[in-house]
Amino acid sequence: MNQGKYDFLKNKKIFFIIPLVIAVATIITALIIGVPVDIEFKGGTLLTYSYSGTIDVNAVKSAVEEMQLGTVGVSTGSAFGSDLETVKISFASDEGLTAEVQEQVTSKLKETFADNALDLVNSQDVKPSAGFSFFLKCFVAVMFSFLLLIIYIAVRFKNIGGWSAGAFALVALANDVFMVFATFVFMRLPIDANFMAVILTILGYSINNTIVLYDRVRENRKLYGKKITINELVNGSINQSLTRSIKTTITTAVAVLSMCVVAWLCGIESIVSFVFPMFVGLIAGAYSSIFIAGPAWTVWKNAHPEKKKAA
């Protein structure tokens, strides 16, 4: 069997250590400076203002953040059933804003954006219990997708040790999830619905690369049988699927990065907070499929060789 140009198993320890170092750094950072959480998960207060003319979302956010009232999110839109333009400001906090503090926020915004004729049209408190319920539903969705993926791989690749293959595909997916989380932590992006959307999208994309690899392993096992070792089998399969994985990842990553640049130049923070973690997740997905799923699986297979069947 042609082993290809690269020996991916030779330096597998280094490939395993790199994400571990990032994971440790992420955990330490999260413990020291905390993780910003959006109102959807933490609860808090949502203020909606009508305005006229054109308003700078980033300027509104900067003005409110000066008051140090917790994690702030700002978005614009239109009132349902009318032409009224609105700007929504969310304050993530355990207790929400008091009426006095809300008045202070309104006064500051009216003074700062006097030309926009801001007017408070709605004030809504979001209970922490509602945020926890939303987080729980998202968590269940992710866990359920993990379960379905591992069952699918176990059934489809049962001829090469399906359950172990599924388990290490899950390890690779866990790495992808953590890399997305690291992006939110280091960029100080609030954990919100975008976070869950990126994770669910990356899970589907990343598992595709891993399945391509396992498919090559299965076909090569049928072709070569026991003539080659498990290391030769996996390393050759990775090399055979490498070009396809890299081309697919680069094509998608360039498109996502282009969206990120355009959104950043236009100051659309809500899109940037989605597409940039998506870009990081795509790179992490390709990395885990090539450098983690296959090599880690060979470590397990070498430590737990298949028992010979009785004649």
Average pLDDT over residues 95-103: 83
SS3 274: helix
pLDDT for position 79: 61
- Residue-wise pLDDT tens digits, 273-293: 889 999 999 999 899 988 998
Q: How much is the average pLDDT of 99-116?
A: 86
Instruction: Name the residue type at position 82.
Output: S
* pLDDT interval class at 271 (50, 70, 90): confident
Instruction: Write the pLDDT tens digit of every residue in 23-52.
Output: 999 999 989 988 887 777 777 888 888 888
pLDDT of residue 165: 81
Residue 160 has pLDDT above 60, yes or no: yes
Determine what percent of the chain is predicted with pLDDT higher than 90: 16
Q: C-alpha distances in angstroms, 226 versus 220, 232, 308?
A: 10, 11, 12
Q: In the chain, pLDDT over 70 holds for what percent of residues?
A: 93
Burial per residue of 187-202, b for 16 or more beta-carbon CB atoms within 10 angstroms, e otherwise: eebbbbebbbebbebb
At 82 the pLDDT is 63
pLDDT of residue 311: 34
What is the reported pLDDT for 129? 64
Architecture in CATH for domain 44-126: 2-Layer Sandwich (3.30)
Q: Answer yes or no: is pLDDT of 3 > 80.
A: no
List the 85-92 sheet strands across, edge first: 71-78, 85-92, 44-51, 119-126
pLDDT at residue 268 tops 80: no
pLDDT at 188 over 80: yes
pTM metric for this prediction: 0.79
**Strand segments (E) across the chain:** 44-51, 71-78, 85-92, 119-126
Q: What pLDDT shows up at residue 1?
A: 56
For residue 92, the SS3 value is strand
3-state secondary structure of 7: coil
Where exactly are the structural domains of the chain? Answer: 12-34+134-303, 44-126
The domain covering 12-34+134-303 belongs, at the CATH homologous superfamily level, to Multidrug efflux transporter AcrB transmembrane domain (1.20.1640.10)
